């Protein structure tokens, strides 16, 4: 008996992508990265206008502006990254990963926007440290606070609340046999 798992079993040949498939994949990756970068720039521009001469100028100290910039980069980048991925999921599918239906896509977009709101609230709260700390320290704290703000959400047992599903379960036609 061999120590390797799957020894003695013939390996199924992996399908090869065509050159057109590789080009389409590369174009999709570039599109997603471009929308993520543009989303980050757009969010930073909107937050900059809201803070400098805008309605938040009296609430956010000068030393806390960097924290809002960090939050804008995170929220805009996440939105720019996830929206094309969700839209691709609506039009692309196969037997292993079926297409995302419009209701599920709308729930995913809503979840991304709620998470963006969480990131902006965290960055706004960290920006308040600018009343006490220098700008550089506030920016470093903002990077860690915004970067790790998703950790409590990852620890919530969403499946027990009836809000999870789909992440750990197999998908496709054989999923009903494996779930039993």
Q: What pLDDT score was predicted for residue 86?
A: 87
pLDDT digits (tens, 9 = 90+) for 26-68: 888 898 888 888 888 888 887 777 776 767 667 778 888 888 8
Inform me whether the pLDDT recorded for 166 exceeds 60: no
Give 4's pLDDT tier (boundaries 50, 70, 90): low
pTM: predicted TM-score of the whole model, two decimal places:
0.70
Q: Distance (Å, rounded) from C-alpha 165 to C-alpha 45?
A: 36
Structure tokens at 60: 């956010």
* 74 φψ region: left (φ > 0), alpha (ψ -120 to 50), beta (else): alpha
Give 12's pLDDT tier (boundaries 50, 70, 90): low
pLDDT digits (tens, 9 = 90+) for 77-135: 888 888 888 888 888 777 777 888 888 888 888 988 988 899 889 988 998 888 888 88
What is the average pLDDT value for the chain, to the nearest integer? 78
Q: What pLDDT score was predicted for residue 14?
A: 67
User: What is the SS3 string spanning 111-150?
Assistant: HHHHHHHHHHHHHHHHHHHHHCCCHHHHHHHHHHHHHCCC
């Amino acid at each position: 008996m061999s120590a390797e798992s799957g020894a003695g079993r013939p390996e199924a040949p992996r399908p090869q992508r065509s050159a057109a498939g590789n080009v389409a994949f590369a174009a999709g990756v570039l599109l997603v990265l471009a929308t993520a970068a543009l989303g980050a720039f757009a969010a930073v521009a909107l937050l900059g206008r809201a803070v400098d001469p805008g309605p938040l100028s009296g609430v956010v100290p000068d030393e806390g502006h960097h924290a809002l910039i960090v939050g804008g980069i995170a929220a805009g980048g996440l939105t720019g990254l996830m929206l094309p991925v969700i839209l691709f999921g609506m039009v692309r599918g196969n037997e292993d990963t079926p297409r995302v239906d419009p209701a599920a896509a709308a729930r995913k977009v809503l979840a991304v926007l709620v998470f963006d709101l969480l990131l902006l609230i965290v960055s706004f709260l960290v920006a308040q440290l600018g009343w006490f700390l220098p700008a550089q320290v506030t920016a470093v704290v903002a990077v860690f606070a915004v970067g790790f703000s998703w950790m409590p959400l990852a620890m919530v047992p969403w499946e027990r609340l009836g809000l999870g599903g789909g992440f750990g379960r197999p998908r496709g036609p054989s999923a009903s046999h494996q779930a039993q």
